[in-house]
């Protein structure tokens, strides 16, 4: 992967957009799909490295600004985000729809396993938070996939016009 000014600029813009979504203090059923859409778009439009960086940074920012209050969950969220980005990045070359679905399911599995095997044995976590960190991740990732499908199509059309123009 070539790291150049275009890649850095696009990553910075997508990171800023993702952070903006997080800090709007919207309900999780709104924020989750927007953040996941940003992860899909960063992986699909900029690359897996970009998406992975955004997926690793944004949970920490959410914690620092107070929208995520459970520090022990940060590594699990990071792992879920990065797994979504990597699976989507690897599979989208072959079939974008399968890539979206596989990435969403992988994120859900990674986060559910992390919560059940790492977080719950060591930290008392309220049931609504467990739901937010497990099954809700599948639905918000699928919602993000639908949004990202439209955004990626628009970005690809825009990029083709830029090349011709």
At 133-154, the pLDDT tens digits run: 999 999 999 999 999 999 999 9
Q: Which has more pLDDT, 1 or 149?
A: 149
Enumerate the domain spans of the chain: 5-164
* Pair 53, 38: CB distance under 8 Å: no
Share of the chain above pLDDT 90, in %: 87
Q: What is the pLDDT of residues 38-80, one digit of tens each?
A: 999 999 999 999 999 999 999 999 999 998 899 999 999 999 9
Q: What is the pLDDT of residues 98-136, one digit of tens each?
A: 999 999 999 999 999 999 999 999 999 989 999 999 999
The pLDDT of residue 163 is 76
DSSP structure class, residue 4: -
The pLDDT of residue 165 is 60
From residue 58, give the alpha-carbon distance in Å to each of 32, 52, 55, 78: 12, 10, 6, 8
Quick one: CATH architecture of 5-164?
Orthogonal Bundle (1.10)
Residue 104 to residue 87: CA distance in whole angstroms: 9
pLDDT tier at 3 (50, 70, 90 boundaries)? confident
Q: How many CB atoms lie within 10 A of CB 161?
A: 9
pLDDT tier at 1 (50, 70, 90 boundaries)? low
Q: How many CB atoms lie within 10 A of CB 20?
A: 11
The pLDDT of residue 160 is 86
Query: Residue 101, class by beta-carbon neighbours within 10 Å (0-12 exposed, 13-18 middle, 19+ buried)?
Result: middle
């Amino acid at each position: 992967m070539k790291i150049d000014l275009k890649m850095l600029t696009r990553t910075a813009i997508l990171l800023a957009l993702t952070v903006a979504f997080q800090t709007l203090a919207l309900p999780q059923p709104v924020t989750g799909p927007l953040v996941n859409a940003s992860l899909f778009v960063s992986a699909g439009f900029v690359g897996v490295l970009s998406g992975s960086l955004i997926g690793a940074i944004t949970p920490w920012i959410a914690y620092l600004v107070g929208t995520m209050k459970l520090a022990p969950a940060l590594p699990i969220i990071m792992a879920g985000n990065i797994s979504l980005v990597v699976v989507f990045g690897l599979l989208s070359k072959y079939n974008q729809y399968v890539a979206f679905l596989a990435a969403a399911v992988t994120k859900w599995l990674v986060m559910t396993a992390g919560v059940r095997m790492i977080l719950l044995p060591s930290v008392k976590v309220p049931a609504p938070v467990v739901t937010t960190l497990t099954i809700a991740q599948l639905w918000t990732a699928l919602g993000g996939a639908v949004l990202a499908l439209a955004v990626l199509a628009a970005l690809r059309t825009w990029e083709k016009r830029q090349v011709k123009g």
